[in-house]
Copies of this chain bind each other. A is one copy, B any other.
Amino acid sequence: MAQFDPTHHPHRRFNPLTNEYILVSPQRSKRPWLGQVEPSQPTDLLQFDPKCYLCPGNFRAGGEKTEKYEHTYTFENDYAAILPPPVPAPPPVSHPLLTIQPVSGGCDVLIFHPRHDLTIPRLTLEDISRIIEEWIRIYRKRGAEEGIKHVQIFENKGSIMGCSNPHPHGQVWSMSSIPTLPSVEIASLIRYSQTEQPPSDAPKGPDDHPCLLCEYAFTEAKLGERVVVKNQHWVALVPWWATWPFEILLLPYHRHIPSIFHLTPEENLSFASIISKITIRYDNLFLCSFAYSMGIHQRPVPLASPEDTDEHDVCHLHLHFDPPLLRSASVKKFIAGIELMAEVQRDLTPEQAAERLRACSETHYLDKGSEHRGIH
């Protein structure tokens, strides 16, 4: 029998954050594809769109005015999914299988830049740093509000991710409960920190306990085959257990960092730089504005005071980039059938995906020949 070849033989990989297996079928990359082609993203956006409710000075559907902002701009979503307290509590359940829980909090919209046509990969490092500063400000402000336990910062980029407005913006949902996925991840981080682990040179978590993500980031940074780009503090990699074809996990690998609030000024700068490099590579992969969902996972709130510690200090700051595109600007991966009923399945291996992303330029394809070439 042939020797095992991960680019040829089907296998399963385990995701220790979610405790899920992923089915990898690399031999399938050759099958013909007859399915749906996505409408491509508009590439000729205006710099200012008088009909866009996120452009400076325009009115939103609810009648509110978006101010004439110069850099970032944050406002409470006019159609929030979560409302501020007090919210009436549901009555006691009529059956133990019909469990219901109250929820409160708030939904913020964060506009990244006044320019309607400039997504993150087109922004300067200074502009990206301003977005990071705004993330930190909202995380602290919402995290200090009564009853808030989790602040979910995320970005939906591109209409094929359901994003309803091309003006570059992200969202922040603050909730009175830790949502399903972060809470599964936190349980995994706590379990790992309390279980004996093999000796390692990786950084450690609180009280010198092992940290799953310190260990994983350190290992991947050393191995290199799934790394897309790294700098002094951060590593961006296609995780061993990636669901999406070109999924990226971005995290600090040189020390245990629970949240964006804990970043030093240098870590902050190199954070902006690596976000720029990842998103430019994404756009260059299929020469399009590359759609993704991005989310920041970090410690729940409220933050412990500097001298205090609590069990949530085991959280290790990381960003998930989940992009749907599979093989061109218009062919995406579907999460359907086998994924919804059994387990996630992928064709391209994470190592192949990382290699393709490494091969992409760090100069944006729309900036070719400009003064920006090669200086990111």
Interface of A with B (CB < 8 Å)?
Answer: 1-6, 9-14, 16, 20-21, 23, 25, 27-28, 30-36, 39, 61, 78-83, 86-91, 94-104, 150, 152, 154-156, 159-165, 171, 173, 175, 177, 179-182, 197-198, 212, 215-216, 219, 223, 240, 293-295, 297, 320, 322, 334-338, 340-345, 347
Contacts and interface: CB of A to CB of B under 8 A. Distances in A.
B152 A342 contact: yes
Q: Which of A36, A102, A320 has the most CB of B within 10 A?
A: A36
A23 B80 CA distance: 12
A87 to B, nearest CB: 6
A35 B345 contact: no
Given A14-B101, A79-B28, A198 B96 contact: yes
Contacts of A1: 86, 88
A3 B163 contact: no
8 residue pairs, one from A and one from B, having the closest CB atoms: A162-B334, A295-B341, A31-B79, A179-B342, A14-B99, A180-B343, A25-B81, A179-B343
Contacts of A104: 10
Contacts of A20: 180
A216 B95 CA distance: 9
Given A96-B198, A154-B341, A164 B33 contact: yes
Contact of A212 (B23, B30, B79, B97): B97
A324 to B, nearest CB: 8
Q: Which of A97, A150, A156, A181 has the most CB of B within 10 A?
A: A97
B342 A320 contact: no
From DSSP, what is the main secondary structure of chain A's interface residues?
loop
Given A36-B162, A161-B337, 7 more contacts: A10-B82, A13-B98, A30-B79, A32-B79, A162-B336, A294-B341, A295-B337
A323 to B, nearest CB: 11
A156 B342 CA distance: 13
Given A23-B81, A91-B4, A340-B320, A164 B100 contact: no
Contact of A12 (B103, B150, B155): B103
Contacts of A293: 336-337, 340-341
Given A181-B341, A341-B295, A164 B34 contact: yes
B337 A171 contact: yes
B342 A11 contact: no
9 contacts: A6-B100, A10-B81, A11-B101, A12-B101, A14-B100, A36-B159, A97-B240, A156-B336, A162-B334
A12 B104 CA distance: 10
A160 B156 CA distance: 19
A342 B151 CA distance: 10
Contacts of A320: 340-341
Contact of A103 (B11, B31, B99): B11
Contacts of A164: 33-35
Q: Which of A173, A294, A322 has the most CB of B within 10 A?
A: A173
Nearest to A2: B88
Contacts of A150: 342
A35 B162 contact: yes
Contacts of A161: 334, 336-337
Contacts of A35: 159, 162-164
Contacts of A95: 219
